[in-house]
């Protein structure tokens, strides 16, 4: 199990006052920009039997954007392998943003010979009302594991495929990536086991019930993600830097 430094009380403190919790509209509106050309040029240099290029990547627009809300809608429109591939690209574009390196990694994973089939089967045949089952499927070679597709991204796929979380109290598959793990004080930043993911969902549920049970549970994951900002490096005008 990951080594914990943060208790539920510590996490609640990191989240801030419950009256400052983000609204569901703010969470669902979280968007990211990406460059279609970065995806296209890597796609077109892949093997001849590469998956069908999603239509939205053929645009002449230099930049596109995608939000959580739009990804939830796309997650309900998967009726073929091509739909699964398009959903994968949209979710991963939201996660990678404009990063060329991350985009290259996401395309490389998708170009595995059986990736579209495994992706489609994992997203349509797993009972997402049991979140850990979905995690286990994408984490097991014998089921839907895709080389190069780790938890940080397949939990995004599971999350947006399962539909918008509500306040019913049932567990949904929530996103778990390195920033969320860092906010929780976990010693592991990736490669979590299914048991560790189950523990994560239980922990978020405990925090959610004490923080804002009247709002969907994904506000906790969002707030944890946002609580870990990027540390600014030293300024060029810092005497220790400028003087050397």
Can you tell me the distance from the alpha carbon of 64 to that of 86, in angstroms, rounded to the nearest whole number? Answer: 14
Percent of the chain with pLDDT over 90: 78
pLDDT band at 47 (very low <50, low <70, confident <90, very high): low
Integer CA distances (angstroms), 224 to 19, 188, 196, 198, 215, in order: 16, 16, 17, 17, 15
The SS3 of residue 31 is strand
Give the residue-averaged pLDDT of 38-60.
Answer: 88
Can you tell me the distance from the alpha carbon of 94 to that of 96, in angstroms, rounded to the nearest whole number? Answer: 6
What does the pLDDT read at residue 236? 64
Can you tell me the distance from the alpha carbon of 20 to that of 24, in angstroms, rounded to the nearest whole number? Answer: 12
Where in the chain are the domains?
A: 8-242
Q: Flag whether pLDDT at 152 surpasses 90.
A: yes
């Amino acid at each position: 199990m990951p080594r914990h430094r943060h208790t539920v009380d510590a996490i609640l403190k990191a989240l801030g006052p419950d009256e400052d919790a983000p609204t569901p509209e703010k969470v669902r509106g979280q968007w990211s920009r990406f460059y279609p050309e970065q995806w296209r040029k890597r796609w077109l240099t892949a093997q001849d039997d590469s998956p069908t290029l999603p239509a939205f990547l053929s645009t002449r627009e230099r930049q596109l954007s995608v939000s959580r809300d739009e990804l939830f809608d796309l997650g309900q429109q998967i009726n073929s392998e091509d739909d699964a591939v398009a959903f994968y690209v949209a979710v991963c574009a939201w996660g990678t943003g404009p990063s060329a390196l991350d985009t290259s990694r996401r395309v490389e994973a998708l170009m595995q010979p059986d990736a579209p089939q495994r992706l489609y089967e994992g997203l349509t045949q797993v009972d997402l009302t049991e979140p850990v089952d979905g995690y286990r499927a994408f984490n097991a070679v014998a089921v839907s594991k895709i080389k190069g597709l780790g938890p940080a991204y397949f939990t995004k796929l599971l999350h947006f495929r399962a539909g918008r979380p509500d306040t019913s109290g049932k567990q949904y598959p929530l996103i778990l990536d390195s920033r969320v793990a860092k906010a929780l004080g976990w010693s592991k930043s990736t490669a979590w086991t299914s048991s560790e993911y189950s523990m994560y969902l239980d922990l978020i549920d405990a925090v959610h019930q004490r923080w804002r049970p009247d709002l969907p549970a994904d506000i906790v994951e969002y707030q944890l993600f946002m609580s870990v900002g990027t540390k600014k490096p030293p300024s060029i005008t810092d005497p220790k830097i400028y003087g050397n």
